[in-house]
Structure 1
Amino acid sequence: MINKASGQEYRTYIERTVLRPLDLRNTYWPATGEQTPRGYEFGSSGGLVSTPKDLNTFWEGLFDGRLLPGWAVRRMTGDTTDVGGRDVYPRGSRYGYGVASIPLSCGGAYWGHGGDLPGNSVAGGHATTGRGNVTVYTTTWAAEGDRLRHLQAAVDAALCAKR
């Protein structure tokens, strides 16, 4: 879809419109020999290698208007569907355009997205209450059931910590 809409190969487009503007120096497309053993063979769906710091910078850049105009972010987070209690979403969660909101115990919510590849789970997002960004990453198992609830509790604890 990126190729068709922009006329550019998706890697070039993402480097030009996301990685460079946010100065994500530790986010990259893995070399061919790096792909198979680590599970990065998924192209545009999970193909980037990054760090928690760069992922937090991404979320900050998305929500502070450096990647998209304000109207687009408002649309992503305003036109939502209730998904609470289904799949990986706790009660009170909503899903918009590419991002989900998960309520925080201290009020507000964090907006983000997660994903799983064989042997890895990653999730990250941005808190609406100005509490910051958070990225969680696990290896060797998918985040589901009690494991997912523990990860979500860790995110909540990090964002709701007394300052």
Structure 2
Amino acid sequence: MTAPRRRAVVVLASLALSLSLSLALHTPSAGTTTGPVTAEEVRREAATLLETARSVSVHVRVRDGRHTVAAGAGEAVLGTGRPVPRGAHFRAASVTKSFVAATVLHLVAERRLSLNDTVEHWLPGRVRGNGNDGSRITVRHLLQHTSGLYDYDSTELTGKTAPDFGRHRFDHISPEQLVTAALRHAPDFPPADPDDPEPRWSYSNTGYFLLGAIIERVTGRPWAVEVHNRIVRRAGLRGTRFPGDDPHLPEPYARTYHRFAGSGGYTDTTVRNMFWAGPAGALVSTSRDLDRFFTALLTGELLPPRELAAMRSTVPSNEEHQQFTPGMRYGLGLMRQPLSCGGSRWGHHGDLEGTFVRTGFTADGERSVVLTVNGRTTDDTRLLTTEKAMQGLIDRFLCRR
């Protein structure tokens, strides 16, 4: 862990305790509300979240079996009063990882790839130097964030201020460039021992950039084509795409806004080139499509039982992530968190300048919540407050009886 990350953990520790206690004390007990979820109930929850997060817009989609309700709060364009449109497209950010992981597991089911294959086997010489050794890192390590590879993202190239974002928002940065930059750093820790039930864990976009390259080496086709053919098209996801260098979202959409450190107000972050995010976070989707994808995944429509079981095999996340997501465990491209009513919720988070994307699914896929919040800040206290509110909302709907 780098020095700034260590300082962030120290700063967040006391706040995290408050978050954990608040979740325990203020999440309504399961079963206190009965009957079908109503549009008015979802609207109230969305409005409360909007106020708590002090964001620009919120959209919530809730499903119980075949009964689906969606509602929003706030405005799609700051200062206009226009509501978030139905079927809005958004950048799903790291939710992309679940799609890529499902694609990798699909190749494993076809025996074209093994979870125990090394990076060196598929990408000879790609991961070497500064203590990095691709011959010790497996596909499973990459999927589960137990490789120890340094987590490199675009902000380390494009800057972290509003003026920097404005100057670099249209830059073409490839995932390969970010892998090269990441390998200039020593790993956070050695790759996990396969026999360790609770290995060291550290979130790494770098690992998913490498997975995209491995998919291409195995199949001879671009990773995005494979994800589309094996997952997106198969699940009937009509609003999901990988935009490449196109900086625009397809209509309809709500604008995203980010309050950068040191800035006096919001910066519109809607239009930007996301080519850099690639297999770690470039996906554009809709709430309906994310609901459909995770439901199909968890109910066995997309993967055979053995591969789905491997995907659900989890390890504890690290201290840094526990600050925001208490109890979180990570599988192969899947997040798992405890529910207040017992059991767990599954899905994946997505975070980007200006946007939060949160998904929650019961293990059987019968209940789901897909949540987007536009209007984000860099302030740690505000981020924790917003995270608590989002997690509480998801928990209440999934625990409803």
TM bracket, shorter-chain basis: 0.7 to 0.9
Q: Which residue of 2 aligns with 1:148?
A: 387
Contact 1:100–1:113 (Cα < 8 Å) also in 2: yes
* Corresponding position: 1:25 with 2:238: yes
CA distance in 2, matches of 1:3, 1:159: 37
Contact 2:246–2:273 (Cα < 8 Å) also in 1: no
Alpha-carbon deviation of 1:43? Answer: 2.8
CA distance in 2, matches of 1:120, 1:39: 13
More strand by share: 1
CA distance in 1, matches of 2:360, 2:221: 28
Q: Secondary structure at the match of 1:135?
A: strand
CA distance in 1, matches of 2:304, 2:219: 18
* Corresponding position: 1:133 with 2:346: no
Q: Which amino acid aligns with 1:3?
A: E
Alpha-carbon deviation of 1:5? Answer: 2.3
CA distance in 2, matches of 1:87, 1:158: 23
* Corresponding position: 1:88 with 2:327: no
CA distance in 2, matches of 1:87, 1:38: 31
* Corresponding position: 1:34 with 2:248: yes
1:76 to 301, 308, 311: 311
Q: Which amino acid aligns with 2:357?
A: V
Displaced runs of 4 or more, over 2 A: 35-40, 42-46, 82-85
Q: Which residue of 1 aligns with 2:217?
A: 4
Q: 1:156 to 1:40 in 2, by over 3 A?
A: farther
Q: Which residue of 2 aligns with 1:121?
A: 356
CA distance in 1, matches of 2:360, 2:218: 27
CA distance in 2, matches of 1:108, 1:116: 25
* Corresponding position: 1:45 with 2:280: yes
- Percent sequence identity is 32
Question: What's the TM-score once normalised by structure 1's chain length?
Answer: 0.85
Alpha-carbon deviation of 1:40? Answer: 5.4
Alpha-carbon deviation of 1:62? Answer: 0.9
Contact 1:84–1:94 (Cα < 8 Å) also in 2: no
Which structure's CA Rg is the greater one? 2
Q: Secondary structure at the match of 2:358?
A: strand
CA distance in 2, matches of 1:33, 1:77: 34
CA distance in 2, matches of 1:94, 1:87: 13
Q: What pairs up with 1:49-60 in 2 under 5 angstroms?
A: 49-60=284-295
Q: Which residue of 1 aligns with 2:146?
A: none
Question: What's the TM-score once normalised by structure 2's chain length?
Answer: 0.37
Contact 2:349–2:357 (Cα < 8 Å) also in 1: yes
Q: Which amino acid aligns with 1:154?
A: L
Q: Which amino acid aligns with 1:132?
A: R
Q: Which residue of 2 aligns with 1:109?
A: 344
User: Where in structure 1 are there 5+ consecutive unaligned residues?
Assistant: none
1:39-66 per-residue CA deviation (whole Å, 9 max, x = no partner) reads 4513333222111110000101111112
Q: 1:144 to 1:10 in 2, by over 3 A?
A: same
Q: 1:40 to 1:49 in 2, by over 3 A?
A: farther
CA distance in 1, matches of 2:344, 2:369: 12
CA distance in 2, matches of 1:15, 1:53: 17
Q: Which has the higher mean CA deviation after the structures are superposed, 53-62 or 32-41?
A: 32-41
What is the number of residues matched between the two proteins?
160
Contact 1:111–1:126 (Cα < 8 Å) also in 2: yes
